[in-house]
Amino acid sequence: MEPGSRGAAPGRVSVSAVLPAGGSGERLGGATPKQFCAVQGRPLVSYAVRAMERISWISDIIVVASPENIETMKTIIEKYGHKRVTVVEGGITRHRSIFNGLKVFAENEFSSHLLQKPEVVIIHDAVRPFVEEDIVSKVVMAAKEHGAAGAIRPLVSTVIASAADGSLDHSLERARYRASEMPQAFLFDIIYEAYQQCTDYDLDYGTECLHLALKYCKTNAKLIEGTADLWKVTYKRDLYAAESIIKDNLSQQVCVITSVKETVAQVGFLLPETLKSQIKVEAISVSLSKNDSRLQNIVSGECYNFVCVNDKKCAIQETQQLVDVLEKSNIPLFYPVVLISVHLDTSENNSFSIGMEELTIIKKFARETKKKNILVYGLLIHYK
């Protein structure tokens, strides 16, 4: 699929997403709500938005923020180049905020323009940054068939109930119960009707959307076994864990790009063979002067490490072309991109002065690209 194209949703159903982001972060501690805490220099909410944004068949993404954070949220959307996003003012509770997000598709007063009502709507927490398309697709398909669906995970601790005096009353059989996670998905008409019928008590004290669909629309949700990465950032230690996961993910993939010239392609073949036992390697041989779909797909998949093997005679020119591709993709807005430019010298002249001249050019080029959050490193190899 070409970057920027809109793929078909599973089962060709129209899909949108609502991300409640109005929490105060009381359990996290500190003055900053957890959805706005920086992880690797970027607000946590931006990761969740990006996770939805990368799924091309999601038409609209509604982020619901508290009134005092509306402008902060809009600034984040603009700074990180998020697309298809509408920011909506939330309510004083989670359910009231989600209801406001749904109203964007049904009531003009909640948006400057009424968005097209989707057949299925996804609800996903803004502080769950690691959701993948596979689980989103599964809950959407299940929601289309059953009316509602949600991800679940096994309980890791036994749940107990305490008596009025603080002593143990009873415990639940852990094997029979599951933890309700996100994402969840619903036929829009079902979840919207459920919210319309909600009592104030439900809106103020409830937390489970699947329960509302069951209580008010008699819709039994399909439960989908989720993956371990669906966890929610709740405490400060979770922020450190999220940062560690992100760092690990960024270092696990590299794209090796070579020109079509025979000698360069040969080196380009040897390099991935050496690296593939350690990390995931994508190797392509392309002309960077052309709009190659393979490179575009790798970039749109958010690879942040590149090795560009070039003939020395046109190395800077080809590296600049790759930098242009990366800039247009907007991925340097999210994390630093590492680009190692390998200049392959196959000539007989191994002059030290020529090597120093190349080094000076690379240094100057690297200083300029660093301003764009692209870190360029040069390597000159004499190859015979």
Considering the chain, what is the average pLDDT of its residues? Answer: 85
Question: Which is higher by pLDDT, 338 or 112?
Answer: 338
What residue ranges define each of the domains in the chain, with the CATH number in brackets?
A: 15-162+170-235 (3.90.550.10), 252-382 (3.40.50.360)
Determine the average pLDDT of the residues in 360-369: 87
Per-residue pLDDT tens for 33-44? 889 998 888 899
Question: Which is higher by pLDDT, 194 or 298?
Answer: 194
- Cα within 13 Å of Cα(348), Cβ side: 0
Strands (E), 66-177: 85-89, 120-123, 148-154, 160-162, 168-171
Tokens found for residue 170: 């009873």
DSSP string covering 271-283, please?
HHHHHTTTSEEEE
Using a cut of 0.95, tell me whether the model's pTM lies above it: no
Angle, CA of 59, 63 and 66, to the nearest 5° = 165
Percent of the chain with pLDDT over 90: 47
